[in-house]
Amino acid sequence: MSEPAQPTEATDDLPPYLVPHSQAPIRLIYEDTDLLLVDKPHHLLSVPGRHPLNRDSLIRRLQPRYPDVQAVHRLDLDTSGLMVVPKRRESLSELARQFQRRQIKKEYTAIVWGEVSEDRGSIKFPIATDWSNRPKQIICEKRGKHALTHFEVLKRGNNRSLIKLKPVTGRSHQLRIHMQSLGHPIIGCDMYAHPEALEASDRLLLHATRLKLCAPSTGNWLSVFSPIPFDL
């Protein structure tokens, strides 16, 4: 799902978190007068962090060629895949409205720990910030915000499941914590996976696979796909 990038600085009593520097290139998939559709590599921030050593990001890399680009949504540092990047202020405003109205459709693919028994289903647990363990989130019926994720199992094997995830809402870490709540954490997740699932991959096995939106100037619907860079 589209989620805020992981914080690039810790609390005042801890040293700043310095992100890994991804050497992988950004892949440009589509461009028009309004926007870019790009494929973000994992371990690349969506926007610059506050710390000087965390300035490298998707937006900073695009700005030399597209000086007016701004972020309208983000992917986590560890998540790879599709992002839409507005090229001008007018398209930024329109795309922000589409996100607010949930008109933009997002689809992710992940590999989770264990073989999920249901072929498909929906996860509706509300999500709140875990204030004592930020930036982690928790399932919380009392103060959590509504969160909804649809899932479909694509393949099972070797104590793993390849799944399609369709977030309806866009809460921070929604896909990670929703899958953990089912007992099937996303492999390689350093926040919600148990040690064995974390150590099973050197990266988070979560990829933004599909994105569907309406181009602001033309009104035409765009649908793009990015193949997953991993498999069972």
Catalytic residue among 34, 39, 76, 78: 76
**Phi and psi (nearest 5°) for 100?**
-65, -35
Separation of alpha carbons 73 and 71, rounded Å: 6
Both tokens assigned to 231: 């498999």
Residue 130 annotated in active site: no
Both tokens assigned to 208: 């933004």
Separation of alpha carbons 165 and 54, rounded Å: 29
Name the 3-class secondary structure at 181: helix
**Phi-psi domain of 216 (left: phi exceeds 0; alpha: psi -120 through 50; beta: other):** alpha
**Residue 188, CA distances (Å) to 40, 67, 78, 79, 82 in order:** 18, 34, 9, 11, 19
The conformation of residue 185, written as its DSSP 8-state character, comes to P
List residues with catalytic annotation: 76
